[in-house]
């Protein structure tokens, strides 16, 4: 009986769906993307790199001269798997493509249809949750592949490739190798750097206020023993300064009273003898509505706040929950709940909390974020009846259990009544005497009383601002009346210091990018992972701290590619991609305007306009398009504007015209200021050894993981003035030269004499691992400098030497060498011992097998335990028979059993590695084969290679050789 072949993206999703379908369906996985643009030059077949134009197409992966046709390459690992899918397709009567419902899923479905070339009907199954009802509905209502969604995804992919592959080489040449630029990645990095620039510019200010404790004077009062805590807010009718009254440079921006320590203490003494009464009691109703159900961005934010999960960890756990049928699709911009979900949530509320927690009508959340994508449903528990978190926790891993509980609580709370209560604002007036003169003061306090918790019974949304979160916590005040006398119990002067804006966390960065309309929430996790992998930022706790490398990259991009990192321009590109998805915009003309120029709507502002005046730190400040402060070091703003080429000219022209104009020294330099002698102190971002300080001829390495805002001018001077670890340990009596101890990036070493003027190298020797540089003596240093040591002469007349090498101590005789047992044996080994070592066969040092990093469960194919291990070329998984390396996108800390099984299965299907001999490899290079031209409309067609005619002479030689072989 013919069967229907259903193809999804992952084995986990395939297993879940297979459980809902009958025997008439074969459910298989594509194991992610089956083809993509080439990741590296070696992925492109040699016949596609025969001339200059073809090599350019191979480099970019896009034929920009031929309507931006992409060059798609099938992953080498996937070829055997595609063969298997084709075999299954031959036995099927229809092909059902059940990939995810977003643009990427649509593109995967299209790629599958293009590669498999089915001769049976092809249908597209779309669902937003993996439940029996949803799968059946998708089967009953299939559709065709939406070409507009595919075009939008392809346009995004090509745009990102052109951006990254054209701009990244500029960073390699002008900053350092191994860097990357990206349409969203670079803007996100700029947001992080802009916040750090604000912190660098920030100057703290100090101010004092006074906390007071009061008790009602009337013994019969209900609040007689309930203390009231309040803060002093005014003296003599003039308001006291608070943190909000200071600007970023520590200056008061309003006419307020600023207390110093002496004034605060004097005022405290006066308050101790003052009289107080309640001046006013203001009561206001309080109502708080629940937050909307999760969409992708809010899930990442809340998971970061409450669970301390990174965005990547959150999305991986959500992916596993979705594929196993526990939650709805986790890549969504919508906050809408289906009717069945509303019914399920209300049923839970009534059963768990009571009917009085249910609003009369279901709450509808229809507000969508800027640049929202498809109208999916919100992220919620899957099905028409939600499973309780305790039940799910028994079936999933710890990350999945925590995330499911978060989704469940948020969904249920979104359908509960408001929390209600009242706020109380109490003002306390006081009469005091200061230096014998009557004066007045005023204190203030507020409280919150919740009379009905509503949704708070189930869930409380977190906040990036701790102070804002505190305002919503219940804090009841004792009942007091206007005019009631109060006794001052204790007054305490408190010193405050203004703080700079907090650095971005992953959660707050996601929120900021969403506000700017930059990128898609579904891509934020991978973008942040890339920023961390490129070391543009590192984490201090949960805060993202930008590196000096990031400062250099962003300075270069702002000064020379300002339009590409402009917030508004990047957001507008998302709008234009949405227009392509709707069919309102054509892909090719849009890409042509971006790459070759011709009026792509964009703000050509370089994003860094300011007054061009240097500040105390020697940098230039301004405000970016998105409202973030910007600081650019180096040339004045006028020079920046002159070096910038309008984005209207197109990306290609922008890169070529700017490359020669970029001053690498300028973009890699941050001016901190001058020392007392007027010498400039700068930070330089080195290509090899990282950031360092420069002052004239003096240099000093910047400590690793030092945040840029902590490298003040004083700190820089301290580092530059710190004594060097280099020292003279003594003098060589024989040569009269000083014996010096030096330190390099590879460790401590000794050197005989300074470097000669003729440029020759002085003699050096590395310290033994057992030696402490601080305790090194001149005798130890001279012993090291005496190496290699002549042990003696062998019978054949060759000299035997004892040496200390890169891999430890050893002896050598000609081309032969053997390892010595210890460093000290270099000085003690005898000729006889050396000859005995040389007479033995060389042994290769092997490391003991390392313990597995962790166990991941039993493999369903081999039945063996899958372990995660660290290998020479990186982490890998193994079942004892098959080894599979992790991909760059796999995080060893969050790798699951399902993903490990996917990797192992791919490795098994690829078969054993084929070892090529040099002869075979050489033969392969010389052989040219005719490659079939692809008939795909939207991919680059391979040009057939014309075979060279064989001369008669060569043919005769070939025939002669063949004849000899046969005889």
Active site amino acids: 329
Q: Quick one: tokens of 291?
A: 């937050």
CA atoms of 36 and 67, how far apart (whole Å): 18
Q: List the 799-805 sheet strands across, edge first.
A: 789-793, 799-805, 808-813, 816-819
Place of tokens 């795909």: 936
**Backbone φ/ψ region at 79: left (φ over 0), alpha (ψ -120 to 50), beta:** alpha
Contact, 75 vs 82, CB < 8 A? no
CA atoms of 371 and 571, how far apart (whole Å): 8
Q: Is 649 exposed, middle or buried, given 0-12, 13-18 or 19+ CB atoms closer than 10 A?
A: middle
Pairing assessment for the beta strands 874-878 and 865-871 based on DSSP bridges: antiparallel
Pairing assessment for the beta strands 537-540 and 543-546 based on DSSP bridges: antiparallel
Q: Give the chain's count of helices (H) and strands (E).
A: 29, 36
Provide the terminal-to-terminal Cα distance of the chain, rounded to the nearest Å: 56
Q: Is 467 exposed, middle or buried, given 0-12, 13-18 or 19+ CB atoms closer than 10 A?
A: exposed
Contact, 58 vs 49, CB < 8 A? yes
CA atoms of 430 and 448, how far apart (whole Å): 24
Q: Quick one: tokens of 390?
A: 């305790």
Task: List C-alpha distances in Å: 621 to 200, 357, 424, 633, 684.
Answer: 11, 53, 43, 9, 20
CA dihedral 468, 473, 478, 480 (to 10 degrees): 40
Nearest to 37 by CA among 58, 18, 23, 66: 58
Contact, 124 vs 134, CB < 8 A? no
Contact, 901 vs 910, CB < 8 A? no
CA atoms of 121 and 521, how far apart (whole Å): 34
């Amino acid at each position: 009986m013919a069967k229907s072949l259903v193809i999804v993206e992952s084995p986990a999703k395939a297993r879940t769906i297979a459980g809902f379908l009958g025997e008439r369906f074969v459910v298989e996985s594509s194991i992610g993307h089956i083809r993509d643009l080439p990741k590296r030059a070696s992925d492109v077949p040699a016949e596609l790199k025969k001339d200059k134009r073809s090599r350019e197409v191979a480099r970019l992966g896009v034929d920009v001269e031929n309507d931006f046709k992409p060059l798609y390459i099938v992953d080498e690992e996937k070829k055997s798997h595609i063969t298997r899918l084709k075999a299954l397709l031959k036995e099927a009567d229809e092909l059902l493509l059940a990939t995810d419902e977003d643009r990427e899923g649509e593109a995967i479905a299209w790629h599958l249809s293009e590669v498999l070339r089915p001769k049976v009907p092809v249908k597209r199954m779309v669902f937003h949750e993996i439940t029996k009802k949803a799968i059946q509905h998708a089967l009953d209502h299939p559709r065709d592949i939406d070409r507009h969604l595919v075009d939008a995804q392809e346009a995004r992919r090509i745009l990102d490739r052109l951006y990254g592959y054209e701009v990244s080489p500029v960073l390699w040449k002008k900053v350092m190798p191994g860097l990357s630029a990206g349409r969203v990645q670079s803007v996100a990095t700029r947001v992080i750097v802009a916040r750090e620039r604000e912190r660098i510019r920030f100057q703290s200010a100090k101010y004092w206020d006074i906390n007071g404790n009061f008790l009602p004077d009337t013994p019969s009062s209900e609040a007689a023993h309930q203390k009231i805590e309040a803060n002093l807010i005014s003296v003599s009718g003039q308001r006291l300064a608070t943190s909000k009254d200071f600007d970023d440079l520590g200056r008061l921006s309003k006419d307020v009273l600023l207390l110093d320590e002496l004034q605060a203490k004097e005022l405290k003494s006066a308050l101790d003898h003052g009289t107080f009464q309640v001046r006013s009691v203001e009561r206001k109703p309080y109502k708080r509505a629940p937050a909307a159900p999760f969409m992708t961005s809010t899930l990442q934010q809340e998971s970061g706040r409450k669970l301390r999960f990174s965005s990547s960890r959150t999305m991986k756990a959500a992916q596993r929950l979705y594929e196993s049928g526990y939650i709805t699709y986790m890549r969504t911009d919508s906050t809408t709940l289906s009717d069945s979900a509303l019914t399920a949530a209300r049923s839970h509320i009534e059963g768990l909390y009571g009917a009085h927690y249910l609003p009369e009508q279901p709450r509808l959340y229809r507000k969508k974020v800027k640049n929202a994508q498809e109208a999916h449903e919100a992220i919620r528990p899957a099905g028409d009846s939600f499973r309780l978190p305790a039940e799910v926790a028994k079936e999933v891993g710890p990350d999945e259990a925590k995330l499911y509980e978060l989704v469940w609580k948020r969904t249920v709370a979104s359908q509960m009544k408001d929390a209600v209560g009242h706020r109380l604002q109490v003002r306390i007036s006081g009469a005091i005497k200061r230096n014998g003169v009557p004066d007045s003061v005023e204190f203030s306090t507020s409280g919150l009383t919740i009379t009905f918790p509503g949704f708070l019974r189930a869930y409380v949304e977190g906040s990036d601002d701790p102070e804002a979160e505190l305002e919503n916590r219940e804090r009841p005040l004792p009942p007091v009346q206007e005019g009631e006398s109060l006794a001052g119990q204790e007054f305490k002067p408190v010193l405050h210091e203004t703080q700079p804006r907090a650095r971005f966390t992953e959660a707050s960065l996601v929120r900021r990018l969403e506000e700017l309309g930059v990128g898609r929430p579904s891509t934020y996790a991978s973008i942040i992972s890339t920023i961390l992998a490129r070391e543009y930022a590192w984490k201090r706790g949960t805060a993202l701290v930008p590196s000096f490398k990031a400062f250099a990259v962003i300075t270069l991009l702002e000064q020379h590619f300002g339009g590409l990192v402009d917030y508004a321009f990047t957001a507008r590109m998302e709008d234009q991609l949405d227009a392509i998805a709707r069919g309102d915009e054509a892909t090719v003309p849009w890409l042509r305007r971006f790459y070759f120029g011709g009026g792509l709507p964009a703000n050509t502002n370089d994003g860094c306009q300011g007054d061009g005046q240097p500040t105390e730190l020697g940098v230039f400040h301004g405000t970016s398009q998105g409202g973030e402060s910007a600081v650019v070091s180096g040339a004045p703003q006028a020079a920046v504007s002159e070096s910038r080429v309008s984005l209207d000219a197109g990306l290609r022209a922008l890169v070529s015209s700017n490359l020669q104009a970029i001053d690498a020294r300028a973009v890699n330099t941050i001016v901190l200021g001058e020392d007392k002698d007027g010498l400039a102190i700068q930070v330089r971002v080195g290509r090899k050894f990282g950031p360092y300080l420069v002052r004239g001829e003096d240099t000093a390495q910047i400590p690793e993981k030092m945040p840029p805002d902590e490298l003040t001018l004083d700190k820089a001077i301290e580092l530059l003035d710190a004594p060097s670890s280099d020292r003279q340990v003594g003098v060589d009596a024989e040569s009269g030269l000083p014996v010096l101890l030096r330190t390099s990036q590879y460790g401590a070493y000794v050197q005989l004499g300074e470097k000669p003027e003729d440029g020759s190298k002085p003699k050096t020797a590395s310290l033994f691992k057992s030696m402490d540089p601080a305790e090194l003596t001149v005798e130890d240093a001279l012993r090291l400098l005496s190496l290699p040591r002549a042990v003696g002469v062998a019978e054949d007349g060759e000299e035997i030497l004892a040496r200390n090498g890169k891999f430890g101590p050893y002896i050598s005789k000609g081309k032969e060498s053997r390892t010595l047992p210890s460093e000290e044996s270099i000085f003690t080994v005898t000729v006889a011992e050396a000859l005995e070592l040389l007479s033995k066969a060389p042994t290769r040092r092997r490391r003991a097998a390392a313990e597995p990093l962790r166990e991941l469960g039993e493999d369903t194919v081999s039945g063996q335990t899958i372990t995660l291990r660290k290998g020479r070329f990186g982490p890998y998984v193994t079942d004892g028979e098959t080894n599979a390396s992790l991909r760059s996108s796999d995080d060893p800390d969050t790798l699951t059993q399902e993903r490990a099984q996917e990797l192992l299965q791919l490795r098994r299907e690829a078969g054993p590695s084929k070892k090529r001999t040099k002869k075979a490899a050489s033969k392969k290079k010389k052989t040219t084969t005719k490659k079939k031209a692809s008939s795909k409309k939207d991919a680059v067609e391979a040009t057939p290679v014309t075979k060279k005619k064989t001369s008669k002479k060569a043919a005769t030689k070939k025939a002669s050789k063949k004849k000899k072989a046969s005889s």
